[in-house]
Copies of this chain bind each other. A is one copy, B any other.
């Protein structure tokens, strides 16, 4: 029970001008699962190779993440390697080795099929659909995506959009999907594709929720230094779904606050490479930043 999260589980090698960070724990499901774990139980669905470091399995366990859905297959773990430029703004992919991820079929353990909250973190939309097909009437299903799937798997993505409650994407993806420059015009078009809730991420500018209660302008926590934004979007949706899964009351009544909690976990993510900062955070530190954001936005 709690949140079921499916997505990529990967090793990320992130180079910056002064340091290498080889084989950090990464992937959309890793970031989202750790973020959600601060709030309640998490079930992780993913795949890794037999080279997957034991310390990362221990890390998931330390965060109370259920691993019955994590397949460990003979072969190599998905490995992504990238390099940042000096100003940290541009990232360049050096290498992508899919490994066992190439043939991944996310088959859910029986115990996961009743989970009320489902996060289809960034992964091929066909796999997101495959997970959804195994679920028994979840209460709230949210999907994240990336530009790659808009380019190479749009028909699957459109099929998915008809079957989920909430869709999360960033502003440039919203623009790409709808051909609308204006984000609010883009949101209107995305609703017509199915989702009742549309959430557009704008990086350091925060995010926008559009739902039955109208818009919510969700702030980003102010950071004077961003070390590595990799996984921030995944942390945001993970934290949001984690908070939602344990909050009492209606989705509508809790979603704004859930987004702010997600935004705060994402801010911690940005303060270290990979998951190095997020994994050293506790719930009290998260609550403190949420309180700060209340003060930073009140007028």
Contact = CB atoms under 8 A, between A and B. Distances in A.
A87 interface: yes
Contacts of A257: 299
Interface in A259-299: 259-260, 294-299
B256 A185 contact: no
A216 interface: yes
Interface in A156-190: 181-185, 188
A224 B299 contact: no
Contact of A181 (B89, B183, B208): B89
Nearest to A182: B224
B185 A225 contact: yes
A42 B222 CA distance: 35
How many copies of this chain are found per oligomer?
2
B299 A182 contact: no
A215 interface: yes
Contacts of A89: 181
A35 interface: no
Interface string A213-225: 0111111001111
Interface in A203-235: 204-206, 208, 214-219, 222-226
B181 A299 contact: no
A98 interface: no
A296 B184 contact: no
Q: What's the dominant secondary structure at chain A's contact region?
A: mixed
A23 interface: no
Contacts of A181: 87-89
A215 B225 contact: no
Point out which of A188, A215, A217, A259 has the most chain B C-beta atoms below 10 A from its C-beta: A217
A202 interface: yes
Given A182-B226, A206-B217, A256-B299, 5 more contacts: A88-B181, A182-B223, A185-B225, A214-B296, A217-B222
Name the 10 nearest CB pairs between A and B, nearest first: A256-B299, A205-B205, A184-B224, A185-B224, A217-B219, A257-B299, A184-B222, A217-B296, A260-B299, A297-B297
22 contacts: A89-B181, A182-B225, A182-B226, A183-B204, A184-B222, A185-B224, A188-B224, A202-B205, A205-B205, A205-B206, A206-B217, A215-B222, A216-B297, A217-B219, A217-B296, A217-B297, A218-B299, A256-B298, A259-B299, A260-B299, A294-B299, A297-B297
